[in-house]
Amino acid sequence: DSGVTQTPKHLITATGQRVTLRCSPRSGDLSVYWYQQSLDQGLQFLIQYYNGEERAKGNILERFSAQQFPDLHSELNLSSLELGDSALYFCASSVDGTSDDTQYFGPGTRLTVL
């Protein structure tokens, strides 16, 4: 158990809908990352937050948004969902978000868009 929690574990929804994925980092970690992993694909970095502020942005679609709250939990909002958004979404956390920091991954949320 990494100490990172993600809810829900599974999510099934229809095209055009909007969903929110939630992540609670390890106690003491200030940085949160979001990744998307499609079938047989590597991890695509979406976005990173550090202590409530956006720090780095990757291949995140405009239909997606995220935020990190004062209690350091984070939410990833996915809207106008398309079939291609079906994937595993991982959240990771690290102590200070620097590049030599170990990232601890949550168990993921499996999103299925029908």
Partner 1 sequence: SQQGEEDPQALSIQEGENATMNCSYKTSINNLQWYRQNSGRGLVHLILIRSNEREKHSGRLRVTLDTSKKSSSLLITASRAADTASYFCATDEKAGTYKYIFGTGTRLKVLA
Residue in 34, 106, 111, 113 binding partner 1, rule: CB under 8 A? 106
- Strands 104-105 and 87-94, sheet pairing: antiparallel
Q: Is-contact 24 15, C-beta < 8 A? A: no
Residue in 10, 27, 70, 99 binding partner 1, rule: CB under 8 A? 99
When asked if residue 41 is in the footprint of partner 1 (CB under 8 A), the reply is: yes
- Cα 12 to Cα 17, 89, 106, distances in angstroms: 10, 13, 19
When asked if residue 89 is in the footprint of partner 1 (CB under 8 A), the reply is: no
Residue in 33, 34, 93, 111 binding partner 1, rule: CB under 8 A? 33
Minimal distance, residue 83 CB to partner 1, in Å: 20
When asked if residue 55 is in the footprint of partner 1 (CB under 8 A), the reply is: yes
Question: What sections of the chain are H helices per DSSP?
Answer: none
Those residues with Cβ within 8 angstroms of residue 94's Cβ, 6 or more apart along the chain or in another chain? 29, 31, 33, 101, 102, 103, 104
When asked if residue 102 is in the footprint of partner 1 (CB under 8 A), the reply is: yes
Q: Is-contact 82 113, C-beta < 8 A? A: yes
Binding site for partner 1 (CB under 8 A): 2, 4, 33, 35, 41-45, 48, 55-56, 58, 88, 90, 92, 97-100, 102-108, 110
